[in-house]
Amino acid sequence: MKTLKHIVLVTIFGLLFNSALLAQSIQNSSYSTVGYIKSDGTVQDGSYSTVGYIKSDGTVQNSSYSTIGYIKNDGTVQNGSYSTIGYIKSDGTIQDGSYSTIGYIKNDGTIQNSSYSTIGYAKDVDQNEAAAAVFFFFFRLN
């Protein structure tokens, strides 16, 4: 017969294991993990400290819940003051606010700068979340 201790341990392990599976990793060009985006939109650094949030409506917040930007459904990226700072096109092209191409998010999650040099990976990460990682959290293309 299972003891209460055994049931609690199995439940805790299951929760931890499922949480790890639900977080998508963001890696640099050397495949070192620099962060995670959890299924609830929580953004964590490589040490699992929360650095921000990506809300389902596209609002991007820092760890103090202050809005730092927006990723619009049409791919427009705005800062916290609603000024357009970039665009993410449906083909994965990343442009700055002047429509100059500054990088790419490939279908396989590879993130490249404008010279097509790989700067990171966001495999299995939603394109808008990957764009938030580029513009607000882990990578700088310009």
CA dihedral over 84, 106, 42, 134, signed as positive or negative? negative
Domain boundaries, the chain: 24-137
Note the pLDDT tens digit of each residue in 56-98.
Answer: 999 999 999 999 999 999 999 999 999 999 999 999 999 999 9
The pLDDT of residue 22 = 57
Residue 6 has pLDDT above 50, yes or no: no
Closest CA to 82 of 59, 64, 105: 59
3-state secondary structure 102-131: EEEECCCCEEEECCCCEEEECCCCCHHHHH
User: For 30-46, what is each residue's pLDDT tens digit?
Assistant: 999 999 999 899 999 99
Is pTM beyond 0.85? Reply is: no
pLDDT of residue 126: 84
